[in-house]
Amino acid sequence: MKHFLVAIIFMLMSSALKIYASDMGFYNADDTYGITIREPSSICKDDDGFMWVATKSGIYRLSDESKCYNVPYTTVNIVSVELVHRKGELYVFTNHGEIFRYNKRLDRFVHYLDLLSALNVEAIYLADIKIGGDKDILWLATSAGLYHCVNGKCTRIPGVEGAVGDMTMDGCKHLIVASTGGVYRINTENYDREVWNDNPGVFPTLIKLDKAMNRLWIGTMSDGLYYLDCDTKELKASPIKRFPHQYVRDIEIVSDSAIWCGIDGRGIWQLSRDGSRVTEIFQEDKDNPHSIAGNGVLDMCYDRPDRVWVCSFTGGVSIAELNSPLITHFRHRVNDPNSPANDYIYDVAEDSKGRIWIGTNGGLSYWNPDTGKWVNRFGHEYESFIVRSVCEDSKGDIWVGTYSNGVYVLDGNTQRIKAHHTDRQGILSKNGFVFDILRDSNGDIWMAGMIGAIIKYDHVTGQFDEYPVRPVSTMAELDDSTLIMASNNQLLSLDKNTKEIKELLTDNMIQDIEVTEGKIWVASNGNGLICYDIASQATETFNLKHGSVSDNINSILYHNGNLWLGTDNGLYRFNIDDKSVASFDFPETAGKIDYTSDASVKLSNGTSAWGTSEGLIILDTESMTSRTPSGRIYLQDILLSSRSMRDMPDILPEMPLDEITDLTLQHDQNNITFSLQPLGSHSRTSLFSWKMEGFDDDWSELSDLSIINYTNLNPGNYTLYIRLYNPDLISERKISIHIKPPFWATWWFKTAYVLLIATLLYLLLRFYINRINRRHAEHKLQFFINTAHDLRTALTLIKASIEEIKRSPNINEEEKQYLQLAIDQMQRLTMVTTQLMDLQKIDLGKGQFHPMNYDIVPLISSRISMFESIAEKRNITLTYSYKPESYVTAVDAGKIERIVDNLLSNAIKYSHEYSSVDINFTANDNEWRLSIVDHGIGIDKKSLDNLFKEFFRSENAVNLRISGSGIGLALTKKLVELHDGKIIVESREDEGSRFEIVIPHRLVDSAPLPVNAEDPESADKSIDNEEIKNMRILVCEDNDDLRRFMKRPLGRHFNVATASNGVDAWEYIKKELPDLIVSDIMMPGMDGFELCRLVKSTFETSHIPIILLSALSDQSDELHGLGLGADDYMTKPFDMKTLTQRIMSIILNRRALGSRVISEGGETVEEADTKESNELNDAFVRQALKIVVNHLEDSDFSKEEFAREMGVSTSLLFKKIKALTDMTVVDFIRNIRMDHAMKLLNDSQYSIGEIAYKCGFSSISYFSTVFKKHFGKSPTDFRA
């Protein structure tokens, strides 16, 4: 009796529990999002539609591309991590009081507040936080009471007693707080407190405000469920007696009639809205894959309108679809016999007993709806056993077509193998490939496959018959005499009676066939849905590649006037009447699934079964209604050259990346990647399409690819349009992109570049023109130089000839005056040519400027004195004044002289007779001025502007026939400008002119040079005429007349040889080694400068003095010649007497140099600063001195031994010693010995005999004779 009562009670309890058993399916987020979430403690949804899950190891954001955020916890032993979201702000906090805030712009959690530090306490428990009206205002429920936190500063709210367990917002201005001391309603603006209940008697850990029922639900840790009436403020316990007294973790109001209570350890209890009864209980069932995963419910989130997210300690995150169609999804579970043998299903069939058979990639399985159990056949004992087709015959037996194992027949009751047909060729062989088995309306079995013909099994006779069609993948019955089949890419019809085969259409790979009234529907791979009209034989193709619908249709099922299409991207409904396509709300795990070919069946209970690559799906198509999809495009990230903009603080905008509508980038940031995420209902079935306006011509193909990448975008403006389909267009957004051009591509740079190019072209043109002009000018200058050379050469001949005539004693005074007049005119002509050449050089930039410090007053005074005689001839008085009378400044003396000469010459030339020329010099610390005023013909105003142009002469000067070249003032202005000065002119016609030069004062690093009159030419009359006569002089001149003329006067004094060019001269010099060379500079073949360089740089000839003659009178030319080692420089025209005296001076200088060398033992050579000094000559003399000194005591030291030690021939030694010292070799040795003897005599340490021996004399008497002849006294007289 006792056992009977126990059994009755157990049956009643089981019956009661069965009342609450649920058909609702839960789906695990791990399977949906491909991640593993362990021990989630909190979950919430943000404004963007993301679900956030908190765990101790991090915060997960669930999406197609789920992400885990690391939170920088500083405390350990964290018990729980909670999330809270409101007004766009997301916070995460731990029970220890650490609060973190999600920075959407940086896409990371940042530390916001450490409650322990803020309150300066050692321990506290943070139960909950709520976000106030302002984003930066937090309400904190803690074990120490209620706190109000503003910008990190926390204040305790008085009047709230005990530890606060939970709180909830009541609108925007009130906060309901539940603590151990009572339930309070706090005004969030003025902190007024309203006590709703001050004696709860329980510790509330959770509260939920139900405003519709005017109730506040209160969950406790161990006292069950309570509610507080918001009107009466009466606290009541739940009337449900069986309600667990366990930790109520969360309460969610999921509908107008239901409340879900999440209980730690007891799953989810669904209550009626008033809480009076339990309507369902959701708990984990290991045998049901769609039950809730784990009973330790910690948190829930109601995702309106039809989804609830559940966090359980052991099961992770589960998703409940409240209003989804009735869907059962069976999948293979490892080591679970109560599951299909394999997830990949090839065929689905229902037998007469309601069992559902499936052929899989791992064997045969069937599901019994009555028992809820799965049975698997041909599993482990059959290696690689693949079932491609399943069919029940009229007797209830199951025909099984396999891949490479022929056909099996199973007993429908016992599932034992009744037959295994392998005794025929083709598909019924041991290696038969059977793709489809069909039972026709007559009860016969048709089998088709890869190899062999179609086989018909007659169920009456038990005979097999063959039909020559292969290979065939799927079949359908058109009528009782015709079959429709797919063979390769063809749709065929087969007459059962006549075996006639007809081709109906050719298409891509045909996956499935469905026959309706008068139409054949074909599922194609890539070409959509095809309709073949049997009567008209017309074909119509429906391209379904629209939105997320795919043209890869794998299976078709007709039901109630609609075609249900299983694609590689989900299940869709095609309305035969209006040809519309509809999609549906599926659970996340059943949404985007690849439905397999020819694997669908309509079940006897009105539902349908579908084979997929991820298991078997059974659904009620009658209850399915089309959905209106919603969603939006979320911009997850923008990458520039594969680097996130969040890692580029310099260009990261202040707003979150998802809010960007305009993007401005630099030219080198033109590789852009946009990372997208679809948000909204069933985002996993969404597809994207995009177009970059300004870059793309067409929209991209629909794709589930969420990465948009553009590389090497040119600078400019673009607009990126992005569309989201599911399956129709549900969202679109655009982003304007401006890529700045590099600075070299900006308008201002291009303008500058064009201007630069134009300037360069202009400068190039100017350069080319200037180059041509310069070339012309150089040709012009060369012409002037050649002309001046010819003129000066001719003038030299004329002047020299006149000078010779003038010196003749046979001419009278009148003839001398005529000759002097000719000489004066030649000098004037010489000055004109000189000025013309100087002007051309300055214009070409070749004018040399060599400033030195001079006392300018004597320089000017000396030039004035030169014009006094000229002025006297015209009865013109020169007056001058100097203030100050001495003024040192840096000028080029030669150019200043020309300036003064030109201005004084013009002043005297254009002055009237019996007038005056006034010269005034003034100076200060900054500048000096020289003004010259005449009282002459003056200059008309029209001529003043052109006065300083080359070859210009004023009209009145031309009319008065006053001679002039028009060069002087132009040259004067150029010379003044070389001194950084200026020239000022004031003039009135017939009254006179005033010229003033103004030159800035400056000094250079040199001592002031005195201005002396020319050194008078003098010749040493003591030179032995016979000695001079023997000197060989080489005259090198290309002008024959001048060369012959020079030879005559020079021949009176010297032995003269001539050469007509530098080449012949050099050959003569090397051969004959003349004593002196006189050479013109401008010569064909080799000019005088090159000849001078060769002479002075060659050891054998370096001792030969050289005088250069030139028509080039510029100082730079003279310096160039002297720099090459020339001993003197004379300009044409020159006087032959002067040339002769210059030659005599060089001879005397060489003689004096030799005397100093001998007397000072070589020291003079090293210290000498004469024009004749030459490095080769100096080295030669020093070596000669050293050798002689080393042989002073050697009485046998001869000139031959001397030449051998010098490394030269005896003749060359003689010539060089003679040229450098004006002594013979014997005299050179003897003079050195005498000089040494004098030093020894003055020392008085040695006797005369000893001195004689030390000086290389073997005879004392001979020594005394030579000594007396050299010094005029004997050695004894010097000692006395």
pLDDT in tens, 640-659: 999 999 999 888 998 999 99
What mean pLDDT comes out for the span 194-203?
Answer: 85
Task: State how far the Cα of 688 lies from the Cα of 849, in Å rounded to an integer.
Answer: 81
- The residues of the chain that CATH labels 1.10.10.60 are 1140-1280
Q: What is the pLDDT of residue 10?
A: 36
What mean pLDDT comes out for the span 45-69?
Answer: 90
pLDDT over 90 percentage in the chain: 38
Considering only residues 1272 and 852, tell me which one the structure prediction assigns the higher pLDDT: 852
Q: What is the pLDDT of residue 143?
A: 93
Q: What digits encode the pLDDT tens for the residues 765-818? A: 988 888 887 777 667 666 666 666 666 667 776 776 777 777 777 787 777 767
What mean pLDDT comes out for the span 469-485?
Answer: 91
Looking from the CA of 446 toward its CB, the CA atoms found within 13 Å total 26
Q: What is the pLDDT of residue 681?
A: 58
Q: What is the pLDDT of residue 389?
A: 96
Task: State how far the Cα of 503 lies from the Cα of 401, in Å rounded to an integer.
Answer: 26
Q: What digits encode the pLDDT tens for the residues 892-935? A: 887 888 888 888 888 888 888 889 899 999 999 899 999 999 98
pLDDT above 60: residue 956: no
Fold observed for domain 631-745: Immunoglobulin-like (2.60.40)
pLDDT classification of 166: cutoffs 50, 70, 90: very high
Q: What digits encode the pLDDT tens for the residues 414-457? A: 989 999 887 776 677 766 889 999 999 999 999 998 887 889 99
Q: What is the pLDDT of residue 1073?
A: 85
Q: What pairs with residue 482 in β-bridges?
A: 479, 495
pLDDT above 50: residue 1164: no
Considering only residues 851 and 670, tell me which one the structure prediction assigns the higher pLDDT: 670
pLDDT above 90: residue 395: yes
Q: What digits encode the pLDDT tens for the residues 964-974? A: 556 677 778 88
What mean pLDDT comes out for the span 187-194?
Answer: 90
pLDDT above 80: residue 325: no
Residues 681, 687, 692, 693, Cα dihedral to 10°: -70
pLDDT above 70: residue 1021: no
The chain-wide mean pLDDT, for the chain, equals 83
pLDDT above 80: residue 1029: no
Q: Which amino acid is at 1185?
A: L
Q: What is the pLDDT of residue 15?
A: 33
First to last CA, the chain: 179
C-alpha closest to that of 62 among 427, 311, 268: 311
Q: What is the pLDDT of residue 448?
A: 92
What mean pLDDT comes out for the span 719-741?
Answer: 91
pLDDT classification of 1072: cutoffs 50, 70, 90: confident
Q: What digits encode the pLDDT tens for the residues 300-322? A: 999 887 889 999 999 999 998 88
CATH superfamily of 848-1000: Histidine kinase-like ATPase, C-terminal domain (3.30.565.10)
Q: Burial of 740 by CB count in 10 Å (0-12 exposed, 13-18 middle, 19+ buried)?
A: middle
Other beta carbons within 10 Å of 1179: 13
Q: What is the pLDDT of residue 428?
A: 73
Q: What is the pLDDT of residue 22?
A: 47
- The residues of the chain that CATH labels 3.40.50.2300 are 1031-1134
- The residues of the chain that CATH labels 2.60.40.10 are 631-745
What mean pLDDT comes out for the span 1120-1129?
Answer: 79
Q: What digits encode the pLDDT tens for the residues 32-46? A: 888 899 999 999 999
C-alpha closest to that of 1110 among 1097, 1119, 1099: 1119
pLDDT above 90: residue 1228: no
Q: What digits encode the pLDDT tens for the residues 215-257? A: 999 999 989 999 999 999 899 999 998 999 999 999 999 988 8
Q: What is the pLDDT of residue 148?
A: 92
Task: State how far the Cα of 1266 lies from the Cα of 1158, in Å rounded to an integer.
Answer: 16
Q: What digits encode the pLDDT tens for the residues 688-721? A: 999 999 999 999 988 888 899 999 999 999 999 9
Q: What is the pLDDT of residue 1256?
A: 78
Q: Considering only 78-92, 505-519, 537-551, 593-607, which range has the smallest mean pLDDT?
A: 537-551
Only one residue has tokens 């009378």, namely 885
The pTM (predicted TM-score) of the whole model is 0.58
Starting at the earlier edge strand, list the strands of the sheet with 1128-1131: 1055-1059, 1032-1036, 1076-1080, 1106-1110, 1128-1131
Considering only residues 109 and 910, tell me which one the structure prediction assigns the higher pLDDT: 109
CATH superfamily of 1031-1134: Response regulator (3.40.50.2300)
Task: State how far the Cα of 1061 lies from the Cα of 1067, in Å rounded to an integer.
Answer: 10
- The residues of the chain that CATH labels 2.130.10.10 are 333-506
Distances (CA, A) of 984 to 514, 930, 949: 115, 10, 14
Q: What is the pLDDT of residue 630?
A: 77
Q: What is the pLDDT of residue 1165?
A: 39
Q: What is the pLDDT of residue 145?
A: 94
Strands 1106-1110 and 1076-1080: parallel
For residues 135-150, b (16+ Cβ closer than 10 Å) or e, as one string? Answer: eeebbbbbbbbbbbbe
Q: What is the pLDDT of residue 1235?
A: 80
DSSP state of 135: T
Q: What is the pLDDT of residue 871?
A: 84
Q: Considering only 83-87, 299-303, 812-816, 1093-1097, which range has the smallest mean pLDDT?
A: 812-816
Q: Map 737-776 to HEC letters.
A: EEECCCHHHCHHHHHHHHHHHHHHHHHHHHHHHHHHHHHH
pLDDT above 70: residue 1115: no
Fold observed for domain 1140-1280: Arc Repressor Mutant, subunit A (1.10.10)
What mean pLDDT comes out for the span 187-203?
Answer: 87
Q: Which two tokens stand for residue 1013?
A: 């009159």
Residues 847 and 841 sit within 8 Å (Cβ to Cβ): yes
Determine whether domain 333-506 maps to CATH 2.130.10.10.
Answer: yes
What mean pLDDT comes out for the span 1200-1220?
Answer: 76
pLDDT above 50: residue 1108: yes
- The residues of the chain that CATH labels 3.30.565.10 are 848-1000
Give me the DSSP letters along 540-590. Answer: EEE---STT--SBEEEEEEETTEEEEEETTEEEEEETTT--EE-B---HHH
DSSP state of 623: G
Q: What is the pLDDT of residue 809?
A: 75
